Structure 1
């Protein structure tokens, strides 16, 4: 069908949108008495069987006092049957965001919620509303999850979010990271070559570094009507990847962070990371970490009755060691590739992605899920887990067509394509920032799967491409899991740089574990989990360059579980 996203807000009663702070019991005395609006929408998240996080932000220009907010939860859209209500305050300490952890709800139930300003203790002004849902308990027929990743604001319209807002059913939305990007608005900044960039300039128009910067970027994203509609449609379960802090982040820094105070310095990494995480917790519908816990430790479990255990992992900021680099780690003393030395560094067991604490947590959760008779163990994970070597486009296209393509490409793209061919010939991983760059850690995760006799489905973001992969153990004798990689909402994929080139076919031809990939489509994954089968629908939007678009199911794959754990098959349906 053809969809005009301008209707998105009307579907869920989104009249205004705005700014707010940490929820608490509040006295009306001394609160702002002037008008306030909700210009940044509403959101819900981290649903459990009896509770859910509700979020909004209050905007009250010129207000010197905190703003009072009333929230209501009802079982009907007209709010005739209100089951929970309370007060909160929006203040500057949390950038006027409000986050409420509503408890005492019924499982597997749709709820409607709203926020209103209070003046002198009484609700006033136009409310802003949303819809959410709690998780089921016990025997459960199925669960339907929409999965998204990588939304670059200047690169295009967020049509995938709009399409999710219009789904007839979605129990939860999983965002696997790169909810925002940190880049600026210079002509050569990432995404600024898009035809939509002139009307979607990043705010602030520079790379974000400070707490105020990260807050402004989150605020800009949440003014987008498609994103607002998707947040108002269902609860979100989120985790950051790298761009919520900086590109290719790891525990001690990031590729896009130059420490120091000189002309090109970007300050202290720990300070920047702390600012990014504070803004993230303020602006996202994620439950606050336990007192005394590190904010980086965002791994957590969600139980969808007996049909699925969802384990959201964190692979960026708690334990990840510095990524290897082809230039630094592959070149030998004579300048030629030293593959043996490179592989030794790559396979070093101290080269970590996840860390011991999180691995132990994962093993406990897998064991409990399987012993509890749960059908699927789902890993919400940031980066692709399959073994993926760089494709050899010359072999796929033939020398003549390949050479003609190179002559038409910008120099930096042609150079990257040739480097990929060289890496493919050396049989080394094509992406050192993905699990391929941390094979010892991946093997430990596979050992956890196998020891627990799990039936795992791995979900991955980051790559700006759709993937349907079979994950095999190191020996190549056991299929341990299936993987669905979700493409980006707007961020460019390889096909955007190589229009017309058969890069997706080249990936499949080169890699045993890759059963399907599309390196150009934009959209989302719709995952339906049932006893005995899991269906992944790769849903593409027809364009991100206009707000009117079509959707289509690009491919549909069915995963069937193995009898004693693992996956029996991943097949196109």
Structure 2
């Protein structure tokens, strides 16, 4: 697309010129920059969210008028345009719900502040009907100091892409001290978090979002296709739940509600997502997207609207007197606590919404229902290493693990030997609510494709309810750059061990970084686990680690290499 002075003047003449009558405002606009790229998101069949941010010069506090234009990608004709004023109250971000667009159509878009032009973005609306194939890139967990965002460079180069589905951990809240998460890598790559402290205030969260969107690879992916996003925990604080978080200390960090409000305001400002509907809490971002007659994508929220506090082995697995008077772990009490029906990830209201959406999708003739979900859903028992390795091999494994993780790993192996879940912060920590979710699937008569993030690992899982009845197929995406447990375990094949220990786990890789390429067809779904060769340098290679196919009858098979 070419931008010229005549086109800009034509747009001004269409109704926005009066906004630039002030010579002072024009002078201010000429000094701003578009440093954070452009983005689009939440596409529907007739509209899409467009996003940008103007960076004002130092000391600038006045509002800035910004114009926007949408072009039909095939004809280069302007099909929508307008102007909007932004300022300090929303950190100079711009968000437009561009309406009146055609279904299943590619568009380009651009912003202007005076004669300063933003980069050009590409976006696409959803189909209103029909069953054309849909290509999605599924991502999660992008720690800025953890490594380069090479996965986004690969996504930006995809020839066919309808949307990027982001399952959370778009930013992380940690600081930049030597002991902070990912900083060993961050120092080597000069990717040091800003601000340098753990983020708490609205200004902190805004600065952190700005830093992430300064990344050229992330900008390229945002400019390539619309994003459909939900948050997980790190957009607020680690292991967040309804009333707090593991990484929030009220005595020194204030009321969690205030921190959450700061995090959500910055998130809505900086992300290409529709604002919460009138009368809805900003935490309620569960929403649906329909790809013609082919599929419905239902995004759920499992952190801030209904999640009860996660269990922790160190605090919730207690001891009792054994037969000889010596203390033993009270496994029965812990199982009762874990299976408490009052514990859950989703509110009753969200369950009602999801069940209704699933039924409507099925009744509307859509072949596939896809669930955008944050955490791993499968039953995943920690591996009993004693069944997989000789004592000498276990000793050799322990010798490879850094001293700071050795005690923690030994405790985990002890618990896994007794059949304890691998991750209590996932659906395994909330089995009663998982059964409620599976009952939602059954009532709607669907077996969805479940997408999961958070774990920093690739997963392919056959999901089953408590009776052993198959409920769904799950594809979990690895991290874009966040470290995995396997990174500190030397050569121990953790993914293989989890596959051997769990009937539901068909494939697991705990080391690779990348994304899932999900392609929906009328008769089948294909998921390719896309691995980037490194997150420490460029250039890099992108390869298919493994590929799987789901047939109409739910059968899961591996694609040939």
Name the SS of the counterpart of 1:524 in structure 2.
strand
- The equivalent of 1:193 in structure 2 is 184
Q: Match for 2:434 among 428, 431, 442?
A: 442
Matches of residues 24-63 of structure 1 in structure 2 within 5 Å?
A: 27-28=19-20, 31=25, 33-34=27-28, 35-61=31-57, 62-63=59-60
2:295 is the counterpart of 1:308? yes
Which of 254, 261, 269 pairs up with 1:267? 254
The answer for the alignment partner of 2:475 in structure 1 is 484
Q: Does 1:408 align with 2:400?
A: yes
Contact 1:157 1:544 in 2 (8 A): yes
- The verdict on how the C-alpha distance between 1:527 and 1:386 changes in structure 2, with shifts beyond 3 A counting, is same
Q: Residue in 1 aligned with 2:111?
A: 115
Q: 2:61 aligns with which of 52, 64, 75?
A: 64
Aligned to 1:164: 155
> Which residue of 540, 543, 550 corresponds with 2:531?
540
Residue 570 to residue 436, structure 1, CA distance change in 2 (3 Å): farther
Partner of 1:18: none
Structure 1 residues 65 and 29: CA distance shift in structure 2, 3 A: farther
**Do the aligned partners of residues 399 and 561 (structure 1) sit closer, same or farther apart at CA in structure 2, a change above 3 Å counting?**
farther
- For residue 316 of structure 2, the aligned residue among 309, 329, 341 is 329
Aligned residue number for residue 463 of structure 1: 455
Pair 1:538–1:456, CA change in 2 (3 A) = same
Q: 1:474 aligns with which of 459, 462, 466?
A: 466
Aligned residue in 2 for 1:95: 91
- Indicate the residue corresponding to 1:370 in structure 2: 362
Counterpart for residue 270 of structure 2: 283
CA RMSD of aligned residues (A): 1.8
Secondary structure at 1:194 match in 2: helix
Q: Is the 8 A contact 1:468 1:482 kept in 2?
A: yes
Cα distance 1:142–1:95, how it changes in 2: closer, same or farther (>3 A)? same
Q: Kindly state the Cα deviation for residue 29 of structure 1 after the two structures are TM-superposed.
A: 5.5
1:140 to partner: Cα distance? 1.5
| Residue aligning to 1:5 | none
1:211 paired with 2:208, answer: no
Distance in 2 of aligned mates of 1:281 and 1:556: 35
Are residues 1:386 and 2:398 paired?
A: no
8 Å CA contact 1:392–1:421 kept in 2: the answer is yes
Contact 2:40 2:225 in 1 (8 A): yes
- Show structure 2 runs of 5+ residues with no match: 4-14, 322-326
Residue 516 (str. 1) matches residue 507 (str. 2): yes
Matched residue of 1:111: which SS? strand
| Alpha-carbon contact 2:146-2:481 (below 8 Å) kept | yes
Is 1:75 aligned to 2:72, yes or no?
yes
Structure 1 residue 292, shift from structure 2 partner:
2.2
Match of 1:6 in 2: none
The answer to whether the 8 Å contact 1:375/1:455 transfers is: no
Contact kept? 2:51, 2:271, Cα under 8 Å: yes
Q: Which runs of 5+ in 1 are unaligned?
A: 1-10, 14-23, 119-123
TM-score calculated relative to the size of structure 2 = 0.93
Contact (CA 8 Å) 2:456, 2:478: kept in 1 or not? yes
Specify whether residues 393 and 195 from structure 1 end up closer, same or farther in structure 2 by C-alpha distance, changes over 3 A only. Answer: farther
Give 4+ residue runs of structure 1 displaced > 6 Å after superposition.
Answer: none
Query: In structure 2, do the counterparts of structure 1 residues 218 and 111 end up closer, same or farther at CA, with 3 Å as the change threshold?
Result: same
CA contact (8 A) 2:61 2:88 kept: no
Q: What's the TM-score once normalised by structure 1's chain length?
A: 0.91
SS at match of 2:82: strand
Output one character per residue of 1:152-183: Cα deviation in whole Å (capped at 9) or x when no partner: 00111000011000000110000000000000
For 1:475-513, what per-residue CA distance to the aligned partner results, in whole angstroms no more than 9, with x for missing partners? Answer: 11x211000000000101122111211111101010110
Distance 2:206 2:367 in 1: 40
> Residue 397 of structure 1: CA displacement?
2.7
Q: Which has the higher helix share?
A: 2
Residue deviations 1:417-449, cap 9 Å, x none?
Answer: 222222222222121100000011100110111
Question: Is the CA contact 2:110–2:117 (under 8 Å) kept in the aligned structure 1?
Answer: no
Secondary structure of 1:231's counterpart equals helix
Maintained 8 Å contact 1:535/1:557: yes
Contact 1:156 1:197 (8 Å CA) reproduced: no
For 1:396, which of 383, 388, 400 is the aligned residue? 388
Deviation at 1:12, TM superposition (A): 12
Give per-residue Cα distances to partners, 1:265-294, cap 9 Å, x unaligned. Answer: 111100000000000000000000112210
Distance 1:223 1:521 in 2: 25
Residues in 2 aligned to 1:183 and 1:547: alpha-carbon distance in whole angstroms: 26
Shift in Å, 1:415: 2.1
Distance in 2, Cα, partners of 1:284 & 1:50: 20
What's 1:430 paired with?
422
